[in-house]
A and B are shown apart, each in its own frame.
Chain A
Amino acid sequence: MLELAFQQVVNGLLVGAIYALMALGLMVILGILRIINMAQGELYMLGGYFCYFASVTLGVGYVPAIILAMIATAGVGVLMERLAVRPLLRRPFYMVFLSTFAVSMILENAAELIWGPDPQNIPSPFSSSPIIIGPIFLTSQKLFIFAVALVTIVSFAAFLRWTRVGMAIRALARDRDAALLMGINADRIQSITFGIGAALSGAAGALLGAMFNVYPTMGQLPLLKGFALVVMGGMGSVSGVFVAGLMLGVAEGLTAGFLSIGYVDLVAFATMLVVLLIRPQGLSKWGKSGV
């Protein structure tokens, strides 16, 4: 029993890092730009499909395919911002909610038309043979993905904290008008931020797609879980989202192990609701309460 729990926890941490990566893309756009991007799941999905396209159709290697996928997804994100978000800047925020929802429908159907509705497999260079440490079973692929996720998250946090563009992004998040007055090109920064958010979720899609498979509707659930994580982690806090992601992964693993798989998806929402009701400002110290 204890062994099972321990294994579930380790497993959960690995899965959680990927959740965190996905949620990070959402957080960038939601937490920093205060934009509810209902198409974020589709950006995640496109990341997976671009990776598939790059590695299967173009024949590129595993890692270059992931990078190409990130860049391509970023491009889609920037385009989306230009067409569906920026024209609605001065409107009530639920308009953007709806316009991004429209974009999500378009992207999902487009992927279906281009690649067909069946799941596709991305070949991965990792073997399935388990790495056994004590009673714990791991795989090299999972470790790789965990490492990549971790590196990406840390780099992004550093980027936000220490680069000029990062500071501009944070300024924009605080107060758009003040940022404009400071000479920050708000439109350009917003584009860049959208692109980065898209690239992050796209990376998650590419990594996960390689581990499992890609299909047009794969973005729906990660979107919702991403919301849960951003809310739990405290909007705008990279470390908060990371911790929340790990916790979610572990909670899901334990639920699957000790209750039933059917309720696994429930965990994200139940946990989030509990957190919101007890500590509305999220788990992070630097989180903000409410918008």
Chain B
Amino acid sequence: MSRAATWLAWLLALAALPALMPNPYVQYVVNSALILAFATIGLNIIFGYAGQHAFGFPVFFGVGAYASALLSIDAALPVGLAIPAGALVAGGISALIGFPSFRLRGIYFGVATIAFSYVIYIIAQNWVDLTHGPMGIPLVPPLHLLPDRAAFGVSRDVQTRLIVVSTIAIVIFMLDRILRSPIGRAWLAIRENENLASSLGIAPLRYQMAAFVTGAVISGLGGGFYAHYVGFVSPTELGFHYIGVVFIMLIAGGTSTLAGPLIGSVVFGVLPELLRVAEMARNLLLGVILLLCIVAMPEGLAGIWKRLQAARARHGRGSLDAPIPVVTHVEEKIAQIAPSLSTSGSLEIRDLTKQFDGLTALQDVSFSIQTGEVVGLIGPNGAGKTTLFNVITGVLPPTSGSVFYCGREIGGNTPHAIAALGITRTYQITSVFPELTAAENVMVATHLWSCHNPFAALVRSKRFRTAEAAVGRTAEMALALVGLQASRHIPAGVLSYGDQRRLEVAVALATGARFILLDEPAAGLNAGETEELCGLIRRLRSAGFTVVVIEHDMRMVMRLCDRIIVINYGRKIFDGSPKEAAVHPEVVDAYLGAGTSNA
């Protein structure tokens, strides 16, 4: 059964089931759980997919509730308009909160979101003129699908559920489309490895904010439904009780899945009411159940479902994959793997200095690299080579001096802006997106030239589909080039070290950059693999790429590079051909040692 059909069947069941029990209490409980699913889905976007631990996030559910209630009462907006308007208000407030919060790293970000959510709660409690304070807002107008007279006896509970389930279906449908587009891939990339994502041209703040605001709008939408269903809004909806409940629903349901939030909301929305039989010990039982869920079911309920499916697939018809497309002679088509971001340009470094709190990593370094060269950057450990790469790619700003690419000053730019100009790099310590498959890793790298317009993604426009097809082809070609096609569905974190190194190259090529910086690409490779690597670099040169390589394998450097730049203690001590380098006294002294003329 196709995915869409499965979804449709489940949603219909969800909508219809409680109708079998026309008890308004049961209807109320199920409807409340479904409404809360909006908050869970919203949280999943920022927490599960984008990987940002915004612990205070569920507050936007309450914000949407308040906004919608106040708009419908004080501004006399019809309920059908108040609810989406309230969602937009929640989105707006989230933008105000998100912007400063994202400046913070790690746990501070999460704590800041908790702080902001508490601030909102206190404002609701005390700004009585606006929010009615602790008295709350009673008599919130109800949501009707049909006017009472024409309702044909369809109770408001059923009407609400139909509206809610339909809206959830639409939201999930749209979310699915966004997730299977460069935007969704960008979110996952930021979650997995923000620095790598940035160097591939994904602006972290933009996508974090997008996830934050989108999640807030969805949560706020749910809040609006809630306000007009329960008929009463009070500061409790903004309190920590709800924050905890929504997190329980998400994590026990399964993060980063479409179904997880829905499953979690239904189960953990209904469960507390079922536990009313033990009225006084309800929270205790809920806590115990939650604890057991966490310890025993890390992927949540949706994870169990996925495992069942995977098991069925294994025992069933075998692989569900389409056959692997055959890619031939890709070595000759390197330049076609990805469209070029810019014509390969020349890089000029002028008097570059980089200081860290008293340590001078680079001192007045100057050199230039022409299009089509393969340049080796060598020197002892700690000489400043990786720092130089970091400055060029925007990871670090220069303390003084300039970096020009294609004649434009790029020193101090952000990594993603520099990536957009056509410069890409690999890292000294292998850097991949661990939970994404090899193919997905490469697809992320196509971000800069793919179609990341959300509207195009939603409607699957022609432009979008063409771009996605190109992305798919690029992934196949890049993986074929480095010999990883067979591993396309394997999570990158599971790949062997050598395979990860190859993946990094594939990723670099998929960006469309023509200026490639490789940081110790041969580290940890055996002789055969190193030979392969050299072959690849030579082919890159023939295809018109410019390559700069940091390496310690002298044999490789001498044979491969057109030119060698030697850095020692942050200073450039040599710039010339490999032959000259081998006999240059300072170079020999600092790095090579005698006896390298045999290299």
Q: Which of B67-75, B117-125, B446-454, B459-467 contacts A (4 or more CB under 8 A)?
A: B117-125
Q: Are A112 and B280 closer than 8 Å at their CB atoms?
A: yes
Closest to A90 in B: B298
In the complex, the answer to whether A106 meets B114 with C-beta atoms within 8 Å is no
Give the distance to chain B from A240, nearest Cβ to Cβ, in Å. Answer: 14
Within 8 A of A (CB), among B84-127: 100, 103-108, 110-112, 114-116, 118-119, 122, 125-126
Cβ of B16 under 8 Å from chain A: no
Identity of the chain A residue whose Cβ is nearest the Cβ of B285 in the assembled complex? A109
User: Does any Cβ of A come within 8 Å of B247's Cβ?
Assistant: yes
Within 8 A of A (CB), among B366-425: none
Which residue, of A88, A91, A102, A227, has the highest number of chain B Cβ atoms within 10 A?
Answer: A102
Nearest-neighbor residue (CB-CB) of A104 within chain B: B287
Residue of A whose beta carbon sits closest to that of B247: A98
Is the CB–CB distance between B116 and A273 below 8 Å? yes
Answer yes or no: A135 CB below 8 A from chain B CBs: no
Assess the B294–A266 pair: CB atoms within 8 A: no
> Which B residues are CB-close (under 8 A) to A105?
244, 283-284, 286-287, 290
Cβ of A228 to closest chain B Cβ, rounded Å: 7
Chain A 96-131 per-residue mask, 1 if CB under 8 angstroms from chain B, else 0: 011101111110111011000000000000000000
Q: Which residue of A lies closest to B117 (CB)?
A: A269
Query: A102-B288, A105-B287, A265-B118 in contact; A276/B294 too (CB < 8 A)?
Result: no
CB distance from A218 to the nearest CB of B (A): 14
For A102, what are the chain B residues with a Cβ–Cβ distance below 8 Å?
248, 287-288, 290-291, 294
5 more CB-based (< 8 A) A-B contacts, given A102-B294, A106-B287, A269-B116:
A99-B290, A99-B291, A260-B126, A276-B112, A290-B106
Rank and list the top 8 A-B pairs by shortest CB-CB distance, nearest first: A105-B287, A290-B105, A291-B106, A106-B287, A109-B284, A269-B115, A102-B290, A109-B283
Q: How far is the CA of A84 from the CA of B291 in the complex (A)?
A: 7
Residue A36 lies at the interface, judged by CB distance under 8 Å to chain B? yes
Is there an interface contact between A103 and B291, defined as CB atoms closer than 8 Å?
A: yes
Enumerate chain A residues within 8 angstroms of B156, measured Cβ to Cβ: none
* Cα separation A260 to B125 with both chains bound (whole Å): 13
CB<8 Å pairs between A and B, sample of 13: A84-B291, A87-B295, A95-B294, A102-B248, A102-B294, A109-B282, A266-B118, A269-B115, A272-B115, A273-B119, A277-B100, A280-B103, A290-B107
Known: A224-B118, A263-B126, A266-B122. Is A98-B251 also a contact (CB below 8 A)? yes
Inter-chain CA distance A99–B104, complex, in Å, is 25
With A102-B294, A103-B291 known to touch, is A97 a contact of B55 (CB < 8 Å)?
Answer: yes
Residues of A within 8 A of B294 (CB): 88, 95, 98-99, 102
Chain B residues whose C-beta falls within 8 Å of the C-beta of A212 in the assembled complex: none
Q: Judge if A59 is at the interface, Cβ distance under 8 Å.
A: no
B53 within 8 A of A: yes
Residues of A with C-beta under 8 A to B288: 102, 106
Closest to B123 in A: A266
Question: Secondary structure of the B side of the interface?
Answer: helix
Are B295 and A88 closer than 8 Å at their CB atoms? yes
Cβ–Cβ contact B112 & A273, under 8 A = yes
> Does any Cβ of A come within 8 Å of B9's Cβ?
no
CB < 8 Å neighbour of A262 from B118, B126, B282, B290: B126
A289 with B105, Cβ < 8 A, contacts A98-B248, A106-B284, A277-B100 known: yes
Distance to closest chain A CB from B367 (angstroms): 34
Taking a contact as CB atoms under 8 Å apart, the answer to whether A109 and B281 are in contact is yes
Q: Restricting to B232-250, which residues have a CB under 8 Å from any CB of A?
A: 240, 244, 247-248
Q: Is the CB of A276 within 8 A of B284?
A: no
A21 at the interface (CB under 8 A from B): no
Point out residues on B near A: beta carbons under 8 Å: 47, 53, 55, 100, 103-108, 110-112, 114-116, 118-119, 122, 125-126, 240, 244, 247-248, 251, 280-284, 286-288, 290-291, 294-295, 298
Most-contacted residue by chain A among B100, B282, B288, B294 (CB, 10 A): B294
Contacts A227-B114, A231-B108, A276-B104 given; does A103 touch B287 at CB 8 Å: yes
Check if A227 sits within 8 Å of B247, measured CB to CB.
no
Q: Report whether A227 and B111 are in contact in the complex, using a CB–CB cutoff of 8 Å.
A: yes
Cα distance A1–B286 in the bound complex, in angstroms: 51
Our pick among A262, A280, A290 for the contact of B122 (Cβ within 8 Å) is A262
Q: Mark A14-42, 1 if CB is under 8 A from B, else 0.
A: 00000000000000001000101000000
Give the CA-CA distance A104 to B103 in the complex, in Å: 30
- How far does the Cβ of B252 sit from chain A's closest Cβ, in whole Å? 8
Interface residues on A, range: 35 or more
Measured between beta carbons, the chain A residues less than 8 angstroms from B283 are 105-106, 108-109
Q: Is the CB of A280 within 8 A of B105?
A: yes
Closest CB of chain B to A208's CB: distance in Å?
Answer: 20
A152 within 8 A of B: no
Q: A212 to B47, alpha carbons, bound, how many Å?
A: 39
| Distance between A170 CB and nearest chain B CB, rounded to angstroms | 19
Give the chain B neighbours of A113 by CB distance below 8 A: 280-281, 284
The answer to whether A101 and B122 have CB atoms under 8 Å apart is no
For residue A143, CB closer than 8 A to chain B, the reply is no
Cβ contacts A228-271/B at 8 Å (1 or 0 each)? 10010001000000000000000000000000101101100110
Complex Cα–Cα for A276 and B114 (A): 13
B132 to chain A minimum Cβ distance, whole angstroms, is: 15
Return chain A residues, CB-CB under 8 Å to B284. Answer: 105-106, 109-110, 113
Q: How far is the CB of A114 from chain B (nearest CB, A)?
A: 11
**How distant is the Cα of A235 from the Cα of B106 in the complex, in angstroms?**
12
Q: With an 8 A cutoff between CB atoms, is A94 at the interface? A: yes
Q: Are A94 and B53 CB-contacts (below 8 A) given A227-B111, A276-B112?
A: yes
- Interchain nearest-CB distance for A249 vs B (Å): 18
* A181 CB → nearest B CB, Å: 20
| Given known A109-B284, A262-B125, contact A224–B244 (CB-CB < 8 A) | no
In the complex, A265 Cα to B117 Cα: how many Å? 13
Please, how many angstroms separate the alpha-carbon atoms of A97 and B251 in the complex?
Answer: 11
Alpha-carbon distance between A64 and B269 when the two chains are bound, in angstroms: 45
* Chain A residue at minimal CB-CB distance from B284: A109
- Return chain B residues, CB-CB under 8 Å to A101: 244, 247-248, 290
| A113 vs B295: C-alpha distance when bound (angstroms) | 25
Give every chain B residue within 8 A of A95 (Cβ-Cβ).
251, 294, 298
**Whole-angstrom distance between the alpha carbons of A101 and B283 in the complex?**
11
A102 to B248, CA, bound (A): 9
A116 nearest CB across to chain B (Å): 10
Chain B: CB-nearest residue to A97: B55
Contact residues in B for A99 (Cβ distance below 8 Å): 290-291, 294-295
A203 to B379, CA, bound (A): 57
Q: Which of A270, A272, A276, A277 has the most CB of B within 10 A?
A: A276
* Residue A141 at the chain B interface, CB threshold 8 Å: no
For A112, list chain B residues within 8 Å (CB).
280
Complex Cα gap A34–B24 (Å): 46
Q: Which residues of B contact A291 (CB under 8 A)?
A: 105-108
If the complex has contacts A94-B251, A266-B122, are A228 and B115 also in contact, measured as CB distance less than 8 A? yes
